[in-house]
Chains A and B, each alone.
Chain A
């Protein structure tokens, strides 16, 4: 038997013992994810029901669910929810597209980085609330200023993620593209973009998380609808159950949208050979 035959036999043996490839999370993962909040709610409900806690300022789950039910029954919940989701969706899309484009340009072209990056980094340091009066002046009190504020929140993590990850793509795989004489466009399309996809997904997730934060700030600036409005309304009318209900909806929406993003992008990063995948 030659060395080649021996190697082939060894490879066949390894292949037959290998588990099938999968990027889906384990079945028990969703249950584990809700375990802690459900336990927390149960404990709080028992404490309030048994009179050990008043539940006046932090209402028990039963009152929060009742508040949610009332909002749902009148159709208010969907109305506010749709307004908020719409703003986050448009803000996220605008911020992510701008972040990817500008991050791509500054990550790829040294001259663009020298020209643009210092200014963008300075803008990144400005607190989000500082933009509010300016955006109201520029875009008015209605939707545009709110979407613009969310887009700013989403833009910076996406920009930073794309620009930094492009700059740090392994020289060795870029040289593979050069050996095969790829044009600049093909180098971006076939090597640089796929190489930064995992970092891009992380940036998008960070951006989306900030989008949900910024929508509250946006809806505090004179909104008449949206979950942020429910928060302000609950505070002004002394309805903590409505405030906590709105916070709960924010948490669910944030987690759901993040999960959706992960699910949609999972096939794009399935090639990664990482520690987490090894465990699954």
Chain B
């Protein structure tokens, strides 16, 4: 088992119970899409797996080792690119591998630039990139560390349809080439059905798994009929939204109220 989540629960200091006791096992090389309405704890789940947040109860384990803090085998791609504006594309991408020798850095840089098709952009500053290019740099920055687990928190939600489709193709190419385990949080049923081996539908108050839907279709799925799967996901989402009469929880606010250093 690559990732194992056991009785995972998170309550923020302001009392917001983001996740109840959640159990999930993820296989090596599996792509899992986590889908659900706002405030059902999807982002919190990724933050707990990445080690950015610590669980109130329960455990996250990778290869049987408990994740207590950001882990070298796990990388997280955020909803926004979060590039460091003072660094060039090249420096941003190599941000996490500065400990490696320059030869190795150069070799990996060339490989990931090829993967995300940004070969001629190394010397650009983030302000000179479009939204799609910036997100590709963010993906390259995570890939260059060669993570075994890649977490993506709605990474394409702010992009136009064309760029989104292109980046989804890139993601599948990356998975085919390097085979990382991928956990992607999304609002988009289409995206979940197109990318995942398994779709996990969550429900709020507190966040927990409502249903797991296996997508037993080969990847990529451009030519395949996804409608029956999308119907199942849609039905599960409807049940998820109907299951609570509590007002939507503002987890983003709870997360942003956390201090990030001392």
Contacts and interface: CB of A to CB of B under 8 A. Distances in A.
A271 B86 contact: yes
A4 B75 CA distance: 25
Given A7-B166, A108-B261, A172 B70 contact: no
Nearest to B124: A15
A58 interface: no
Given A3-B166, A194-B86, A171 B69 contact: no
A278 B120 CA distance: 23
Given A8-B117, A109-B262, A110-B262, A179 B75 contact: yes
Given A181-B72, A271-B125, A176 B82 contact: yes
B162 A174 contact: no
B82 A172 contact: yes
Contacts of A191: 84
A175 B256 contact: no
Given A3-B162, A7-B166, A176-B82, A187 B130 contact: no
A195 B82 CA distance: 13
B188 interface: no
A108 B133 contact: no
How many of chain B's residues touch chain A, expressed as a range?
A: 35 or more
Nearest to A272: B85
Contacts of A14: 130
B100 interface: no
A266 interface: no
Contacts, number: 81
Nearest to B169: A4
B127 A180 contact: no
A273 interface: yes
A18 interface: yes
A194 B232 CA distance: 48
A184 B260 CA distance: 11
B48 interface: no
Contacts of B145: 180
A271 B80 CA distance: 18
B256 to A, nearest CB: 6
A7 B132 CA distance: 9
Interface of B: 50, 52, 69-70, 72, 75-76, 78, 80, 82, 84-87, 95-96, 117, 120, 125-128, 130, 132-133, 145, 162-163, 165-166, 169-170, 256, 258-262
